[in-house]
Structure 1
Amino acid sequence: MRVDLFDFELPPERIALRPVSPRDAARMLCVSGDGSMHDAQVLDLPQRLRAGDCLVFNDTKVIPAQLEGVRRTFKGDEARIGATLHKRIDLRRWQAFIRNAKRLRAGDRIEFPADVSAIAQERLEDGSFILAFEGEEPVELLLERAGQMPLPPYIAGKRPTDAQDRSDYQTMFAEKEGAVAAPTASLHFTPRLMAALAEAGIGHETLTLHVGAGTFLPVKADDTDTHKMHSEWGQIDAATAARLNALRAKGGRIIAVGTTSLRLLESAAGEDGLVQPFEGDTAIFITPGYRFKAIDGLMTNFHLPKSTLFMLVSALMGLETMQAAYAHAIAQGYRYYSYGDSSLLLP
């Protein structure tokens, strides 16, 4: 499909630079398969779902993966380098997107704050680099000292990262370190909302997908057939898969909270719709025409024009329905993107 079909005009003032407080007070646009729409709040979620339904959350934890440093060569040359870690390779090496990459060569040493340094080992085909962190301390400790929370470019370009983002850009389910972007649909959840959901008979499960920085990359291709997705590592254990399959067999609905949960569930599902245990990389790219197998609904924030995520929600609900929903949200003052409001999509 033509990528420009997924374009729309978004006023800059609709981009949320901070989350609402409390988190569950965010607005929520409910969209049904017949195209009808209702304005609600995230706090209304227990009334918008049914007893027996199950919400599936991503329990990945965002690491401070944004680094600013100086490249130094054996000749003494210097250049400012920005690095956003994207995907872990092993205990000491990460794939990273590099700002000012033209000034970086394989073998160069990058010095970051707090006595943290890395060697640029190799430039990959997509322009990213493999960085090998020096020393013996765990890389996680190095990042805690030298790194910043990797806010999306549409936020970081408007204001600097600060201490508040350390908590704001982390969900209440965050447990397993490895993400360089938050599963933002889950940012809306609070203990009081989870208690209300449980009282309404709505269950929840967790899986893990370490979200990569590739989620923010623009689609540069003119046609979706020629766009290449970056892979991300995920895991669904056998017990979780079995519980989800049993719940669905009894008539319950699986509602993915966030596109990351949805993409992993669909990656793990067979043609029969059963979720299988999964551990490994996924680069699934969902566009209109895709047949969903594992999920019955999606809770997600409002996405970028011409993004793979807007293509995904258009595949679930239909492009015309989502164009109308996004136009309604813009007209009604909904807040967009990672720190913005939410939508509940039930086809």
Structure 2
Amino acid sequence: MNVAAAIRARDPAELPGKRDEDWRWTDLRGLIRQVPEPSAQVDAAAVGAGPFDALAEDSIVVANGQGAAHIGVEPGETKVVALRVVSRGDGAHAARVSVDVEAAGRLVLLETYEGDAGSYLSQTGLLFSLGKDAAVERIVLASDGAEGVTVSQAQVELAPGAAFAQTVLTGGARRQRIETLVRHPGGHASLRLDGVYLLAEKRHADQTTVVTHEGLHGVTEQLTKGVVRDQARGVFQGRIVVTEGADHTDARMGHHALILSDRAEVDAKPELEIYADDVACAHGNTVGALDEDALFYARQRGIPEPEARAMLTEAFIGEVVDRIEHEPAREIARAWAAERLRGG
């Protein structure tokens, strides 16, 4: 099943659905009975400023899927680039983005998904290629509309010695899936995959990752935290595969979520598949409510309950936000999260 192919052919049978194991909690085929007409053209110059524009040397706007984008970093070069994936109005659109970072290059990619109130279907395919000793920090801020359906699918190819760090922050959509697939070569390459989902009303967010370790001495660290309320639904699927011969792999995954209402839902599926002997791998998963003792303690000190709840949830997801290395982007992410938590 292929979302981009479904959009091109306007064939809903191509959409993934609940019979596809990796999509059973994000059923697009059951939701979309007819693929919308192609989205209208949008003038990229008229979409306004993005949340990260002031931090970037270059800003690339992909509006309603118009045009493929390429980001290149030469050997030893350092860049900060804002990539804006914008959806406007009803309709369906798909886009491709390639990112090539040559040996010892450095890239901070500030990536946003910006949707309006339209009933759009959007797919974005990204291909990252990192040369030897290259480094990428990818910070994703997803602010889709409540009626939008968005799928972002990234494939990451690492060379030995490369470092790829990712933080995804999302408020969800009608349906939303942000997927990252990584081929890890070992060779002392390092990988960090983090995520935050803050969901309210009937919004849905799916963060899915698959990391395949294929060589000696690879490192993966992963931490995702979520907060859901009302009738929202959060999905986390994380799979780490250590192939035969990928000895001395160090891979750790954690997912933790707070459910703040009786009708909210979190579905989590952390997995380790290990075919090598000498490895250090672990995963953890917790889903629960706010600590009532901590809430009582805060209220006893005169803090109103809504503010106390916001403070506790901010502290809960703060561990993930604090791991963002780019300081100005980290502050924008922190403000974005605080606004949603306190507004909810």
| TM-score, with length taken from structure 2 | 0.27
Structure number with greater CO (CA < 8 Å, separation at least 6) is 1
Higher share of residues assigned helix:
1
Give the strand-richer structure, 1 or 2: 2
